[in-house]
Structure 1
Amino acid sequence: MGKPEIAKLGYVALVTADLEKSLYFFREVIGLEVTEEVDGVYYLRAWGDFQHHTLSLEQGDRGYVRHIGWRTKSKEDVLLFKNNLEQASVDVEFIEAWDTPGIGEAIRFKLPSQHTFELYFDITRPEVEEHRKSVLKNQTYKSWAKGISPRRFDHVNIHTSTDVDQTYSFLENVLGFKMREFLRDDDGSVLAGWMSVTPLVHDVAVLSKPNLPTPARLHHISYWTDDSQDILRAADILRENGIEFIGPGKHGITQAMYLYVMDPGSGCRVELFTGGYLIFEPDWEPIEWTMKERAIGNTYWGDSVQDKEANKITIEA
């Protein structure tokens, strides 16, 4: 039997200090659709997302991430991952099917970075009301119905104050991620890695940050828009709503165009993302960036991510 595999990034379970503000931000400004509300938890997805949700929102005493969910390639993979993790002396929590709406049997565990990941396969794909439904059979909702209206969930960016090499190794050797691009410090250590299980340059980015208030932090979640004009339109919508943002700009690493904005309820940063490139080469060699190249890696052109004070804000994960 082959090694178990992760198919894609699934969702982020986000707790917010102000649910009303977060719901307005994600529904009306970002333009996500609510699929369901259960016991005060709201489940949302973009118009091109197919599974039950890619984001959940619930009220709490502060903004933080409960866990980050990933869908495996088969139902059997969930159990295989569970066995592999336990053999590696990782504590694994089993989650009953549908305990989280839309998500079947799942397992949760912590990375060496102390971020909590969830793995699952079975999902539901809720029916869409006629007035929100796209006429396209290969699309969930009408596009451009409201707000910025990104197509789909894209990636997460996480930070840790732990030994980041242990997390890179865990992601590669236990979970099957591949390093695509990375930033090396002058002393030879890797400070940041962009890793994926799909042809995307990254499904997850992991950065070393020694002086964090807690070991595991979330820098941002990201939603994909179809093209650069969508990013410029997003800037107009944010300005009309009186919401500050960073960008537009273009990363050297990933080659993607970006815009960053903060959810005023949770403090969670959202990156709106487009462009970039896909990796189909089976023998891809990771791209190395040095500290001398860091500035252009972060910001190829446009509003600088690195220079903005808001860029340093993260939430607990």
Structure 2
Amino acid sequence: MTKFNYPPEIAKLGHVALVSADLEKSLWFFRDVIGLEETREVDGVHYLRAWGDFEHHTLSITAGPESRIDHIGWKAKRSEDVENFATLLQDAGVEVDKIVAGEEAGQGDAIRFELPSGHRFEIYFEMEKPEPELHRKAVLKNQTYKAWAKGISPRRIDHVNLATSMDSKIITDFLAEKLGFKMREYLVAPDDSQISGWMSVTPLVHDVAIMKTQTAKTPHELHHLSYWLDNAQDVLRAADILCEHEIVFVGPGKHGISQAMYIYVKDPGSGVRLEIFSNGYLIFEPDWKPIKWTFDEMSTGFTYWGEQSGLNNPKDDETTLTAGFIRSSVK
């Protein structure tokens, strides 16, 4: 087993690479309705970010015969952590692919690998932070684009929620042991087995969540990706904008787990679910004890108040909570 002077670390969620069966609809949804800014397009891949995102992209969209998530990117804390993660994972028997600088626009050398579920992750460090054109540039020097220039206008990417048909604890154990994620809150079934876990490497309640559901057809699916709005009023404004575009959505509501406000809406091009997210709480305690939620507390845990399909009906179980997601990778 290789020894390191210090263990490699992940700093934050970087980006989601989406393949859409209807590229034009997806671009309309994410650029015009949600309000992401397009950094550039390279060889048919459109790179986008929110007005408060600093790196080259937090979402990429390309056309494909079937909608799926190609990979989810994570930024390492140090440049050497990329290679150190590769060594750590290979020592554990995980197959690691090397991605050379420039293969993904704006990004330096990276590695890609699969979780035990088949979800494909990428770890990188180097990423361009391009300046926007003058007409899109914010007056504030500590902000990338003008806020509220168009659409719902979220500030930044927030988290991803992965759905699986397999034992979620196998995945959360891998995230904790190999990648350094910390469990923040979790949900158990009546037999005390884990259904879902919310984990982070930052003070956020979750950078990633893992949810087991019998509705998932494979072990490697995406329930949703999420972008952050500054406050509850912004969530209500988002509801108005979605209504004006005649787009069906779920919410607004408030989660018990994370205490955040939400709206769920699907991209009409790919079918991927987007969560528009705000409020909640942060965790700064180094000795945080994970919060346990039981099966009979699930309706409060998922929906403290408001609308979320299935969550306010005590007859519904975890198989109905996460219906409607796309594959995260090709197998």
8 Å CA contact 1:67–1:115 kept in 2: the answer is yes
Inter-partner Cα distance in structure 1 for 2:215 and 2:236:
34
8 Å CA contact 1:42–1:58 kept in 2: the answer is yes
Inter-partner Cα distance in structure 1 for 2:321 and 2:10:
32
TM-score, scaled relative to structure 2 = 0.94
The amino acid that maps onto 1:258 is Y
Residue 190 of structure 2, aligned match among 153, 166, 186: 186
Q: Give the direction of change, closer, same or farther, for the CA distance of 1:92–1:228 in structure 2 (3 Å limit).
A: same
Inter-partner Cα distance in structure 2 for 1:216 and 1:311:
13
Percent sequence identity over matched residues?
A: 61
- Describe the SS at the equivalent of 1:174: helix
TM-score, scaled relative to structure 1 = 0.98
Deviation at 1:263, TM superposition (A): 0.1
The amino acid that maps onto 1:245 is F
2:276 is matched with which residue?
A: 272
8 Å CA contact 1:112–1:162 kept in 2: the answer is no
Inter-partner Cα distance in structure 1 for 2:106 and 2:224:
23
1:103 aligns with 2:107: yes
Q: How does 1:52-131 map to 2 (within 5 A)?
A: 52-131=56-135
Inter-partner Cα distance in structure 2 for 1:264 and 1:316:
16
Inter-partner Cα distance in structure 2 for 1:311 and 1:168:
18
Inter-partner Cα distance in structure 1 for 2:308 and 2:87:
44
8 Å CA contact 1:299–1:305 kept in 2: the answer is no
1:222 aligns with 2:251: no
The amino acid that maps onto 1:23 is L
The amino acid that maps onto 2:288 is W
Inter-partner Cα distance in structure 2 for 1:264 and 1:290:
34
Listed one character per residue, the Cα deviations across residues 227-252 of structure 1 (whole Å, up to 9, x for unaligned) are 00000000000000010000000000
Deviation at 1:307, TM superposition (A): 4.4
2:44 is matched with which residue?
A: 40
8 Å CA contact 2:163–2:322 kept in 1: the answer is no
Inter-partner Cα distance in structure 2 for 1:277 and 1:255:
7
Deviation at 1:214, TM superposition (A): 2.0
2:164 is matched with which residue?
A: 160
1:4 aligns with 2:8: yes
Unaligned runs of 5+ in 1: none
Inter-partner Cα distance in structure 1 for 2:65 and 2:190:
40
Residue 26 of structure 1, aligned match among 20, 23, 30: 30
Inter-partner Cα distance in structure 1 for 2:195 and 2:279:
24
Question: CA RMSD, aligned part only?
Answer: 1.1
8 Å CA contact 1:180–1:196 kept in 2: the answer is yes
The amino acid that maps onto 2:296 is K
Give the number of aligned pairs: 317
8 Å CA contact 1:155–1:204 kept in 2: the answer is yes
1:313 is matched with which residue?
A: 324
Deviation at 1:165, TM superposition (A): 1.6
Listed one character per residue, the Cα deviations across residues 1-57 of structure 1 (whole Å, up to 9, x for unaligned) are 010000000000000010000000000000000001001110000000000000000
1:143 aligns with 2:147: yes
Unaligned runs of 5+ in 2: 313-319
Q: How does 1:172-211 map to 2 (within 5 A)?
A: 172-211=176-215
Deviation at 1:311, TM superposition (A): 4.9
Inter-partner Cα distance in structure 2 for 1:203 and 1:306:
24
8 Å CA contact 1:298–1:305 kept in 2: the answer is no
